[in-house]
Structures are given as C-alpha cells and as structure tokens.
Structure 1
Amino acid sequence: MSDNQTKEPKIKGGSFIIDNVDVNRIVTPEDFTEEHRMIGETVRDFIDGEVIPKDEELEKLNYELTVELLQKAGELGLLGADVPEMFGGIGLDKVSSTIITEYFSKSSGFALSFGAHVGIGTLPIVYFGTAEQKHKYLPDLASGAKIAAYCLTEPTSGSDALAAKTTARLSEDGEHYILNGSKLYITNAGFADIFIVYAKVQGEHFTAFIVEKEMEGFTIGPEEKKMGIKSSSTRPLFFEDVKVPKENVLGEIGKGHRIAFNILNIGRYKLAAGTVGASKESIELSAKYANTRKQFETPISSFPLIRKKLAEMNIITFVMESMVYRTAGLLDEALADIDYNHPDAGAHSANAISDYAIECSINKVFSSEGLDFIADEGVQIHGGYGYIQEYKIERIYRDSRINRIFEGTNEINRLLIPGTLVKKALKGEIALLQKAQGLQGELLQMVPAQEYEGVLGQEEHILDIVKKIFLLTGGFAVQKLGTSLEKEQETLSNLADILIDVFALESTLLRTKKQLTRVSEEKVLNMVEMTKVYAYEALQRAEAAAKETLTSLESGDLLRMQLSVLKKLTKLSPVDKVALKRSIAARVVTNERYTV
C-alpha cells in the first residue's frame, strides 16, 4: 500500500451500504504476495504430508495424535500467526492467518481443533490479556506446548450467552475466585490445557477467566457423539469450587461481554475462511467425479444440469472468497496500530474489531449457507456414491452442517446485521438515516437507466439499485416501526439478506474491476461472467425480500406506491444466465477445480 493510501481514513464498518469504495482499498486473492503464497504452500504440504495420511486415526478421536500434529503445526509457526512476536508468535497479517485457516479446512475435524485453539482459544489472551498473562500463556499456546479451548455455551444459554448460570465469588482472603457451574459443547475439551471460561461474579457481573486444567474441582465430561466433525473433541465441563487466582481474570470484572462478542466476531470471519477451503475442495471432488462417471456412455460432466450445478458452486465460492479476503484486509487495517504491550490494548482491540461486527456476521451467514449448498450439490453430483463414507464429499456434507450453528446461529446473526447497523446510525457513526430520507424524493423522480458504460457498467448499476432497495425498505421499516423494529424478526431477516447481498456483490464487483485494471478482459472473462450472474440474482432476491417486507408493513394506496417505486427501481433488461453458467461450467469441467 502506498504512503498516500495509508494516510486515508479507515473504512468504517457498515459504511459500504452508503459509500462507494475505491477498488484500491480492498484486498483480494490476486493481491497475495510471494510470502502469502509460500504460507499457503507450507500449510498444504503439512496437511497433505502429515495430517491426511493419519485421517482415519484422527476420525477415531486419537487425542495424542491430534496434540502431536498441533505441536508439529506449532513448530512450523502455524499456531502463532495471530500471536505477536514479543509473546512467542510470528505476528503475521490477517490475510496470512486467513490463508492458513482456508487451507486447513481440507483436514476436516482436525481443522476445527486447530481453529478453536488459534482463534477463540488463544485470541482472548492476545487481545485482552495483561502483559503478565500474555508472557505466561502465549508462548506455550503459539508452540503447541499447551492447547486452548473456549467455554461460553451452557445447558441453558446458547445464543443468549449473557444468561449464563456459572458463577464466580471472591474468596474470603481475596486471592481467588471460586467457580461453580458447567459448560457444554466445548471444542478441544478432551486434551486442552488452558480454558477461557465465562462466569458471573456474584451471580451478576459477566466476566472472563483463564482456567488451567489442573485446577482442583475442574472436571471434564464424556465425548458427545456428533453428526460430523468427528475428529474434534466436544465435551462438557464442570466446575465445583474451582479456585482461580485473581490474576487470572481476563479483562475487567463485568466486561466479559466485550471479550465474548468480539472474539465471536473474529470467529465468524475465520469460520467463513474455512468454508472457502471446503467449498473449493467440494468443487474439485465433484468436477473430477463428473468427468470420470459415465451414464448413457457419456461423462455426466457433459450434461447441462450437472454443469449448472458446477457453475453455481463455483460462483458462490468466488463470492465467498471475495468477501472473506476483503474482510481480512479491513481487520488488518483496523488492528495495525494496536500496541499489545499497552495497558489499554484490550479496549483498543475491542473498538477495532467491533467496528466490523456487521461484516463478520455477513461473512458467517453467507459462507456457512454457501458451503451447505455446495456440499449438497456435490453429493447430488456423486449420486449414490455421495452417500457412502468412502467418498470425501459425504464427510464434507456432514461436517458443514454445524457451521450454521457455530459462533452464533445464522438466525441470531441475521438479527444482529441490521440491528447493529441501526445502532451505528443512531450513534451518528453512519449517515444511514439521512441517506434513506434523502432517497425518497430521488426515487420518485428516477428514470431507469438504459445504457451502461464499461465492461461491468450494468452490474455497477445493479449494486447501486440493491443499496437503494435496502435504504427504501429499511428506512420505511424504521419510520413505520420505530423501536419495535427489533421485535419484527421476519423484517430484520429480510433486511439482513439484502445487506448480505450488497456486501457480497460489492466485494465481487470490486475484485473483478480491480483485476480488470491489471490484465485484459479476456483473461478476466470468468470473473466477469460470475459477477454478472451474481449481480442479476442478487437483484432478484433483493426485490423479493423488499416486496415481502413492504407488504407486511403497509397496505392500500401507500403500499401500491411503494411497490411501484420498487418496480421502477428493478426494471432491467434480463440477463442470459443459462449461457453465462454454461460458459463458467465449461472452464470448471476442463480445469477440474475451482476456477477464477
């Protein structure tokens, strides 16, 4: 990035709905440096050489082997990517750690063991620990000498994390906090050494603690028998008068929610990175199978409906990848100035991460549902073989399902996306309401464009229209419902879906436009065609969501007027999606892999 660019103000989280972004302000996979590519090769070699050959043993939940492989990953520096060098890590940028997460996905449930350790297990200490806590725990976590777990969910509190029942009271001598309660579905519980545990001090003040496995009164329950991710450990935890030294309080008493929610934000975007890798593997498995499987003496890859599936799988993966690395770039910029030795590092980290809560939730929802679609279509392409465990696509299908539940269910995230945006607007952080109000007069006077400039001129116009659809629908919902909007979950969900498509389309469009500045249109043709398909389908979805929402909020003449404006907005010449998808599919079939 040039000196001029570094002086530009940071892009505000959520501002994509009202602002246009310069293509040079986003990070794309085409921007990867030689170091980034070398990191990817290191992970690929490790997974292919060390993990995949032991896959069968890992699926049997061999704790010793899992820890051994995590330690080998630590020797390669892969556990310390997000840990600053001063605390024993290698302090890579977020793009690098995203690449690592994406490439680890090929290792199935082992990727979850890795992700829980380096992400939600280690990052609370990186961002919110004291200098003493960081020096004590991070070197061992970065090397794999100690393994971490994150403990938030309880039998009676999942999405409503602040309803936790686990308690902590200060001992009479003031030296310890005494923990009592339980946690549920804890990844890495079977072999972890360090646990980030949330409890309520005096039954009221939600607080995070660093708990060590050896502490008396701390016990671990049996393994859960899961649908998927079978090579990862998932067990309950029990605390019976566990004495935790007061210096093991993480952050401030009563401020545990700041840690929990911001670590969940990071977890959401990292989850999305993992789904990108799994989606690419699904495409490769499916394309290769389709080329070798014959029916009616013809490879099934030549059948248009199979090709349509491969094209749609490829398009969604392209969109996912574009969003994930754009978000990695945003987080890199936001966290670039954090001094992890500073006493206020936790507050600064929380502010930086929370600013992109909307983008992190968008990544999580879109990518988890995208992988589910891709894995499902992969099984369908494999036919009966896709239902047999011998074929990897069967496991990807089972493993993918948990992603829509992990890190806050998709339903919760759909409520958070527009809810957080409205809160930022009310705080004056984003001029959302002003933009929505100013749109009313413009829409009544608007004449649909007929001609578009440039290769992606119509797609730029579509992005502008989808943003206007959100502002029209969201502005009307706020005006009509006021503070009761938060109770109208169907409306919030529809608004979330439009916002998701805005961010997804903009990320895809900007990536393709950026590449068009570097190479000829012919070399970017696949990206251009995928962008065209996604743009048109995003417009169709936004129109349907807006129509449903407006109809639920209004009736009579006012509704007819709103729907008339919506119809004028979405008036567009149709796109030949069949031809575009055939063109995209032909490249995927030829390459037998994900193709940009």
Structure 2
Amino acid sequence: MATETIDKEILRGGQFLVKETNCEDIFTPEDFSEEQKMMKESVIEFVDREIWPHKPRFEKKDYALTEEVMRKAGELGLLGVAVPEKYDGLGMGFVTTMLVCDYISGATGSIATAFGAHTGIGTMPITLYGTEEQRQKYVPKLATGEWFGAYCLTEPGAGSDANSGKTKATLSEDGKYYSISGQKMWISNAGFCDVMIVFARIEDDKNITGFIVENDPENGITMGEEEQKLGIHSSSTRQVFFNETKVPVENMLAGRGEGFKIAMNALNVGRIKLAAACLDAQRRIITNATKYANERVQFKTPIANFGAIKLKLAEMATSAYVGESASYRAAKNIEDRITLRMEAGNTHQEAELKGVEEYAIECSILKVAVSEDVQNCSDEGIQIYGGMGFSADTPMEAAWRDARIARIYEGTNEINRMLAVGMLVKKAMKGHVDLLNPAQAVASELTSIPSFETPDFSELFSEEKDMVKKLKKVFLMVAGSAVQKYGTDLEKHQQTLLAAADILIEIYMAESAILRTEKNAKRFGEDSQEVQIAMSQLYLYHAVDIISVKAKESIISFAEGDEQRMMLMGLKRFTKYQNMPNIGAMRKTIAEKVSAEGKYPF
C-alpha cells in the first residue's frame, strides 16, 4: 500500500473541485484485494445467517436479539476491524472498515445503528484519544464484544448545537474523581452498554469535556424506558440520567475542554461510515424489488417489463452505483493519507485523526447524498410492490422506516450541507485549497467571447468529463460571487449555502461514478461496462439539471442587473450539452440488466 500511495498524487480534501483527478488514481470496489473480498463474503454470510432471516423479530423490538447478534459479530472479530491488533482488534485499513460497515448494515437498521454506535462513537474515541492505560483497559473488551459501548452527547436542549450541553462535572475536594450530573437523550445501545463516552462541562468552561464512564446503576446512573421510534425498532435507544455519578479523574478522555473536538472528529468518521451503512441497504432493496417485479404478473406480463417499472429500477441501481463509487473513492483517500502520515512519523492515533479530518468535506457530502438516496430507493421499492409494499409482511415497509433516520444521524443533512461549503471556504482561507484563482478565472471567462469551435468528444467520457469541468465552474461562479457579496456573513445566508452545497455534492458524486467506470472500461474493456457507462451518464444528466436549478435560485437571490444577466448566461453556457444523452434508452439498458440478473448486479 505504501508504494501505491507514493506513486500517485493524493488530492487534499476539497481539492477535487479545482484539480483534475485521473481515473487511475482512484479506488473502486473492483479494486478490493483478495483479503477484502473474503471479508466481504464472510460478512454477507453472517448477515444472511444471523440477521436477514430474523427481520420480523427485529421489527417487533427484540432488543435481546440485537445484543445477541452484536456479541456474535464480536466473536467473529467484526467489532474490532478498525482496532489495532495490540488491543485485540484486526488492525485493518480504512477501506476494509468501510466494507464491513457497508455489508453488515444492509439487512436491518437496528443492527446498522448498534454496530455503528459501538464501533464508531463507542469505541473509536478511546482508541484515538485515550491514554495507553485507558486503551489497555477498555478497548480489548470493546473490540471483542465482551463489552458494548455507547456515546452520550445529545441533550434535550443540545442537538445540533452539541457544545451547549448542560451536564456538569464537578471535581471532588480530594481531587480524585468528578461527579457528573445531567440528562442525555437518544442514546443508542443504552439498554445493554457497559461503558459510555459522556460529555459534560467543568465549571464554566467554554468547551465540554469527555469522560469514560462505566455503566453502574449503583453509581447514580438510571435509564429511561426504550424510546418508541418510527424505525430501527430493535436498536436500544434510551435517555440516560446521571446523578452525582463518580468518575475517576484518570477517566477523563483527552484533556479538559477537549470534548467538543472529540465530538466533531467522531462525527467526521461517523458521516462517511453512515454513507457506507446505507449502501447494502440499497442493494437489498433493489434485489427484493427486482425479484418482485419479475414475479408479479399484471395484464399477462411481469411488471418488470413495463417502462414505468424499468424507470424505477434504473434510477435505483444508478444511485446505488454512484454511492458506492464515491464512498470507496473517499475511503481510499483517507486510508492513503493515514499511511502517509504514519510514514512521516505520526502515531496511529494522530494519523487516523488527521487523515479523516482532511476529508471532512467529502464525509459530509457522502452523508447527505447516500442517506437521501437510500430513502428514495426504499420509497420506490414500496411503489414497485404497490399495495403489498405498504404491508409490514414485505421488507420494503421496514426498509423505508429504517432509512428515515439516516438523514438525521451524525448531524442533519441541512447542517452537513452548510458544513461542507463552510469547511471548503475555510480551507481556501488557510491556503489548503486554491479557490480564489480558479474563481477569478471563471469570472474572467464570463466576460470573454466564448469559443465557437466544436470540441472533439470521440473518446469515452470526453464530453462527460468536460461537463464536470463546466459544473465546477458553476460552483466557483456562484460560491465566488456569494463570498464576495457576503464575506464573513456568508454563514448567515443559509439558503445560498444549501444551494451551493447541492452543486458541490452533485459534482463529487457524478465525477466519482465517471472515474470509476472509466478506470474499469480501460482495464476490462468498454463492452464490459456498457451498463455502468449508461448509469454514469444518467446520473450526470440529473446532476446537470439539479445544478442548473440550484445555481439559478442562488444567482437571482443575490445578484442584480448586469451581474445577474451575465451569470445566468454563464450558467446556460456551463450546463449545455453538445450531444444530449438518450435518457430513455439508458434507463432501458440499465433496467434490463438488473431485471435479467434478478438483483443489483454491479
């Protein structure tokens, strides 16, 4: 891996917007190593044996079953994939941890939530921020499933504003322990956890502090009843109350006032892992919907043969393919950055923290895009099933309910949209991403006479890649003008930020699919990628439409007169196809492949 890392240019987070990426430099699911393929198959086998057959029990709030499955996952080593071997984990790279999260999460949101809460926000803060003594004491038990973890951050008055929590930590007179008092809510795994990461404020500190707290009812810890939720029915979710809970001073995590930093970095990892957790859910929805469409006969023909159903199957498969492409592209970027930092002398903890933090923009993009795709996919799955889809006797109803939480987890999608653009602007101000010069170049292009030469688009994806370049110009035009107009007050103009974020998201997702397909066409032949080419082109077509609408909304909101007219003309120029793709034919090609295979086949 180290040699591969050195032999290619690794873009910094956010630089995809201003630098061209070669298809050879990205990682795709087709690049999985033999070890990763074996891991994937073993996880699928585990899910098909221990989770999928028991879906009705998960929907009936069988919390004991969730705990039992999690313990079995621990025995197989699946809870310790990301944990270094010295703490009884498997010590695997970031891509493999994504892969396990992906395939273990598809059968039910209850296990997806329990797994994510335990391995991510339950274990990771200790692994990355704990002292050696803390890691030796807690991480092996968490990695093997002997103990389970939970994460106590959210409070009744502190949701998105995580640093405003009221839970207090008071140092004892002898200086040996802190007494924690307060209320936490929406705590996943609360009903069966052994240890919790708890955030509290010491005195009037500006920032909260993290603590490792063992779950002991005799130490002032009580639980509310299980929450009654729309979905993820067998995910244990409770309020947790702390009343003078004594925590030894040596259980402070990182330093005093470091809790907000821990929380934010945990969210970065949580966001890309949440995207991964939505991928196999989409695959399973598509597979079940396809099987039903092939078997359900109306008007003497399977409904899979109807154009309206083909449209749905094509769009569902396309979204899943694009989500995979972007998620594993970013995961490998993170893994390569971690490797580089370790080669430069960073500890594993420092390298992983900084590696993920570098791609915080991409993590937010993926969280938003894939969580919305899985909701749309499940909704269309219900529609394909028709009346049966609304019944709890079919898998679509539960899939739809479980998908809904993904847009709220790890920061709402609205928060993540604004974060993605805000972080990009901050990176530009720090000089990590050069937005100024490309934005000025686009501004100059708007006032210049456009070229009337007909470009040569004879090579595969030549027009599509040219279109992606033009879409990047749209973002630079809109965001550059907005920054110029609003300056440091940009964050107050949330509608503009949301629109800019949608443009950014569509660029990253579309480019990721095109690069994946281009790479595979070069090594496996274009004929083998006919359907993948159609999916990449179909997604880009939609991306152009979305970007046109969002950019126009922004331009007419903050620009006037000649500036507005010039930007609208630029928008028209930057979103114009030379050869408009045949959307109907592409959908037909995709749907017929999915229908013939009877599953999501990519």
The answer, yes or no, to whether TM exceeds 0.5 is yes
C-alpha distance in 2, partners of 1:232/1:504? 30
Which residue number in structure 1 is paired with residue 70 of structure 2? 70
Query: Partners in 1 of 2:524 and 2:534 — Cα distance?
Result: 16
- CA distances 1:354-382 after superposition (whole Å, capped 9, x unpaired): 11111000000000100111100000000
Q: Name the stretch that deviates more: 292-301 or 43-52.
A: 43-52
Find the counterpart in structure 2 of residue 178 from structure 1.
179
Matched, 1:590 2:590: no
**Which of 452, 468, 472 is the equivalent residue of 1:467?**
472
Q: For the structure 1 residues 226 and 470, does the alpha-carbon distance in structure 2 shift closer, same or farther, using more than 3 Å as the test? A: same
2:215 is aligned to 213
Is 1:389 aligned with 2:392? Answer: yes
Aligned to 2:151: 150
Find the residue that maps to 1:82 and give its secondary structure. coil
Q: Distance in 2 between the 1:224 and 1:541 partners?
A: 37
Letter in 1 for 2:266: I
Q: CA deviation at 1:72?
A: 1.5
User: Contact 1:512–1:527 (CA<8 Å) still a contact in 2?
Assistant: yes
Distance 1:244 1:339 in 2: 33
Superposed CA deviations along residues 85-122 of structure 1, whole A, max 9, x for unmatched, are 01110111122111111111233112221221111111
Q: Give runs of aligned pairs for residues 116-515 of structure 1, distance below 5 A.
A: 116-204=117-205, 205-214=207-216, 216-336=219-339, 346-443=349-446, 444-447=448-451, 449-515=454-520
Separation of aligned partners in 2, 1:436 and 1:96: 37
Separation of aligned partners in 1, 2:458 and 2:346: 52
**How far apart, CA to CA, are the structure 2 residues paired with 1:380 and 1:57?**
24
Q: Is 1:251–1:346's contact at 8 Å kept on the other side of the alignment?
A: no
1:310 deviates by 0.4
Matched, 1:563 2:568: yes
Larger displacement relative to structure 2 (1-10 or 123-132):
1-10
Report the Cα offset of residue 558 of structure 1: 1.9
Q: Which segment is superposed worse, 349-358 or 232-241?
A: 349-358
Change (3 A) 1:24 1:141: same
Deviation, structure 1 residue 347? 4.9
Give, in whole Å, the separation in 2 of the partners of 1:170 and 1:511. Answer: 54
Partner AA of 2:468 in structure 1: L
Unmatched 5+ residue regions in structure 2? none
Alignment partners' CA distance in 1, 2:101 and 2:318: 21
Alpha-carbon distance between aligned partners in 1 of 2:525 and 2:340, rounded to the nearest angstrom: 37
Deviation, structure 1 residue 169? 1.6
> Secondary structure of 1:518's match?
helix
**Aligned match of 1:539:** 544
The yes-or-no answer on 1:577 pairing with 2:573 is: no
Question: C-alpha distance in 2, partners of 1:373/1:437?
Answer: 37
Q: Secondary structure at the match of 1:548?
A: helix
Encode CA deviations 1:240-290: one digit per residue, 9 max, x unaligned. 111111111111111112110111111111111111100001100111101
User: 2:91 matched to 1:91?
Assistant: yes
Partners of 1:4 and 1:237 in 2: CA distance? 47
Distance in 2 between residues matched to 1:217 and 1:426, nearest whole Å: 47
Structure 1 residues 345, 515: CA separation in 2 closer, same or farther (over 3 Å shift)? closer
Shift of 1:334: 2.2
Compare 349-358 and 181-190 and name the one that shifted more. Answer: 349-358
Partner SS, residue 595 of structure 1 = coil
Q: CA deviation at 1:554?
A: 1.3
Alignment deviations for residues 502-536 of structure 1 (CA, whole Å, 9 cap, x no partner): 11011111101110121111101111111111112
Residue identity matched to 1:238: F
2:244 alignment partner, SS class: strand
Tell me how far apart the structure 1 counterparts of residues 285 and 362 of structure 2 sit (CA, whole Å): 25
Q: Which amino acid aligns with 2:3?
A: D
Q: Which amino acid is the alignment partner of residue 55 of structure 1?
A: K
Judge conservation of contact 2:106–2:279 (CA < 8 Å) in 1.
no
Matched, 1:34 2:34: yes
Q: Is the 8 A contact 2:63 2:234 kept in 1?
A: no
More moved, 529-538 vs 102-111: 102-111
1:122-157: CA deviation from partner (whole Å, max 9, x where unpaired) = 111111111111111111001100000111111011
Q: Distance in 2 between matches of 1:343 and 1:172?
A: 38
**Distance in 2 separating the partners of 1:173 and 1:39:** 50
Which stretch of the first structure deviates more once superposed, 384-393 or 551-560?
551-560
Letter in 2 for 1:548: E
Within 2, Cα distance between the matches of 1:106 and 1:469? 36
Cα RMSD of the aligned pairs, angstroms, is 1.8
Deviation readout 1:565-591 (Å, 9 max, x if unpaired)? 222222223221111111111111111
Amino acid at match of 2:601: T
In 2, the alpha carbon distance for the partners of 1:396 and 1:495 equals 30
Question: Taking structure 1 as reference, are residues 329 and 222 closer, same or farther at Cα in structure 2, changes over 3 Å only?
Answer: same
Q: Would the aligned equivalents of 1:117 and 1:149 in 2 still touch at CA under 8 Å?
A: yes
Q: In structure 1, the residue corresponding to 2:334 is in which secondary structure?
A: helix
Instruction: Report the Cα distance in structure 1 between the residues aligned to 2:352 and 2:200, rounded to whole angstroms.
Output: 22
> Does the 8 A contact of 2:106 with 2:282 survive in 1?
no
Letter of the 1:247 counterpart: E
CA distance in structure 2 between the aligned counterparts of 1:181 and 1:255, rounded to whole angstroms: 19
5+ residue gaps, structure 1, are none
Secondary structure, in 3 states, of the residue corresponding to 1:145? Answer: coil
Contact 1:307 1:585 in 2 (8 A): yes
User: For residues 488 and 196 of structure 1, do their structure 2 counterparts lie closer, same or farther at Cα, with a shift above 3 Å needed?
Assistant: same
Shifted more, 479-488 versus 50-59: the winner is 50-59
Q: 8 Å contact 1:59–1:230 — kept in the other structure?
A: yes
Residues of 1 paired with 2:96 and 2:192: CA distance?
27
Q: State the Cα distance separating 1:5 from its structure 2 match.
A: 4.0
Contact 1:419–1:486 (Cα < 8 Å) also in 2: yes
Paired positions, count: 595
Q: Deviation of residue 333 (structure 1)?
A: 1.4
How far residue 338 of structure 1 moved from its aligned partner, in angstroms, is 6.1
Q: What is the match of residue 20 of structure 1?
A: 20
Amino acid at match of 2:427: K
